[in-house]
Amino acid sequence: MALLETFEITKAYGDHQVLRGIDFAIEPGQVVAVIGPSGGGKSTFLRCLNQMERPTTGRVVFAGEELSATESNLDRLRARMGMVFQQFNLFPHMTALRNVVLPQMNVLGRTREEAERRGRALLEQVGMLAKADSYPNRLSGGQKQRVAIARALAMDPEVMLFDEPTSALDPEVVHDVLDVMTDLAKDGMTMVVVTHEMGFARKVADRVVFIDGGKIAADLPPEEFFSDGNDNERIRTFLAKVL
């Protein structure tokens, strides 16, 4: 059974139609790379999955429950879905460790001791334990993003949503973050990753979803998607530009 599923979701900002009906499903343990041209609706689609954006029409079902408009239901389900942002969005007034600890205590009701133990373990997993007591303004972009991943993982999510996690990074640190994500995928995490990193999509993803013009234009295993035999004209044009 699909862990996360969407039915015909659309999103419009006034007259501007961003999503034009998307049906999508991901199985537990799958890694889906979402790619496509800018403005095609990739990020909006991802943000609809945990209702950071409310779809104009259509339904999102997570673990058998519909993400409805009621806030308490939404908070409960969101706690089980991790999200990583392009701009990291670390809490600047807290140390790296405190960033990872706060949601655990506030949402999961863990004690400070428990939350810190789990927080330190996750910071170690992303290679950031040495910076546990640093404020975000002392961290590089790559380091911030790894702390942000640890913060999301600390909630023990069932799925991780990545919104262009490396787009704001200097090229030399992109790999630090991709390595962490690759390890996560290997450990069996269910992941939806909006990305421009074709290497990551090719090597790590189980499926590549190509979104263009607010619709899913292709949903293929990476070997087929990137194969020379793929005769989808739009995909060929896109790949020619980015590769």
Q: Pattern 101-120, binding to another protein, x per CB under 8 A?
A: -xx--xx-------------
Q: Which of 1, 38, 109, 137 binds another protein (CB under 8 A)?
A: 137
Q: Which of 89, 140, 182, 230 binds another protein (CB under 8 A)?
A: 89
Q: Pattern 154-193, binding to another protein, x per CB under 8 A?
A: -x--------------------------------------
Q: Least distance to another protein from the beta carbon of 241, Å?
A: 28
* CA gap 44, 27 in Å, rounded: 21
> Which of 198, 200, 220 has the alpha carbon at shortest distance from 209?
220
Give whole-number Cα distances, 98 to 14, 105, 217, in Å.
39, 10, 42
Q: Least distance to another protein from the beta carbon of 100, Å?
A: 10
Contact 152, 140 (CB under 8 A): no
Inter-helix orientation angle 112-125/141-153, to 10°: 130
Site for another protein in 26-85 (CB under 8 A): 50, 52, 71-72, 75-83, 85
154: Cβ contacts below 8 Å, ≥ 6 apart: 100, 101, 103, 104, 115, 118, 119, 122
Q: Least distance to another protein from the beta carbon of 200, Å?
A: 22
Nearer to another protein, 169 or 208 (CB): 169
Exposure of 64 by Cβ count < 10 A (0-12 exposed, 13-18 middle, 19+ buried)? exposed
Residue 139 in contact with another protein, rule: CB under 8 A: no
Binding site for another protein (CB under 8 A): 50, 52, 71-72, 75-83, 85, 87, 89-94, 102-103, 106-107, 135-137, 148, 151-152, 155
